[in-house]
Amino acid sequence: MPPKRMSTAVKRLMTEYRQLMKDPPEGISAGPISEDNFLEWECLIAGPADTCYEGGVFPATLVFPADYPLNPPKMKFVPPIFHPNVYPNGEVCISILHAPGDDPNHYESASERWSPIQSVEKILLSVMSMLAEPNDESGANIDASKLWRDNREAFNARVRGDIREALGL
């Protein structure tokens, strides 16, 4: 039986993984869940300094489509986190993870959306930035968006409480 050919997606992800291992961005760890499946990754993202997320470590998954890098992966925090740009089920909603091309809702420009020149590192850095600076204009979690806008002190207290609970404190 001839050896199975490696897909373009897997080749690209192997290259990106090697780069992340060689020069990991501060506060981020990511890699395939199993060497047998490079299309599913685990990630750990440290809460950015000087934010209410500081001190937290947030696990997430990245699931890549078979046609990666033509289309973006899906990212999900497991367990979900309270954030304006994270759906209550944990799925992350930011421009870089939206399919390439024009936004049917005319909210984002095509340049803000996914393109094949993006990378896992760029996604993770964008999510870390999103933690520090939520976009409450396009809320995925309406309750979090409203609390972020209307009562920042209560929002910060809720997030800090969630972090303490997750850490067992």
User: What Å distances lie between residue 50 and 7, 31, 71, 146, 156, CA to CA?
Assistant: 41, 27, 33, 21, 11
- What number of other Cβ atoms are within 10 A of residue 122's Cβ? 13
Contact 88, 96 (CB under 8 A): no
Amino acid residing at 133: E
**Active-site residue among 93, 147, 159, 163?**
93
Whether residue 93 lies in the annotated active site: yes
Sole residue written with tokens 């094949």? 116
User: Is 5 in a helix, a strand, or coil?
Assistant: coil
Counting beta carbons within 10 angstroms of the beta carbon of residue 165, is it exposed (0 to 12), middle (13 to 18) or buried (19 or more)? exposed
Residues with a known catalytic role? 93
